[in-house]
Amino acid sequence: MVAREGRPYELLVADDDAEFRRTLRQVLEPHVELCEAECGEQAVEIVRTRDVDLVLLDMHMHVLTGLDTLRLLKSLRAALPCIIITASFTEELRRSAAEANAFSVLKKPVTRRTLLSTVSLALQTAYDDPEVANWLVRREV
| Nearest in space to 125 (alpha carbons), one of 44, 51, 54 | 54
Please check whether residue 57 lies inside any domain of the structure.
yes
Please check whether residue 140 lies inside any domain of the structure.
no
| Nearest in space to 36 (alpha carbons), one of 17, 9, 8, 63 | 17
Please check whether residue 94 lies inside any domain of the structure.
yes
Do 22 and 37 touch, CB atoms closer than 8 A? no
What does the pLDDT profile of the chain (141 residues) look like in tens digits? 566 777 889 999 999 999 999 999 999 987 789 999 999 999 999 999 999 999 999 999 988 999 999 999 999 999 999 999 999 988 999 999 999 999 999 999 999 999 999 999 999 999 887 777 666 555 554
pTM of the model: 0.91
Please check whether residue 141 lies inside any domain of the structure.
no
- Give residue 138's pLDDT: 59
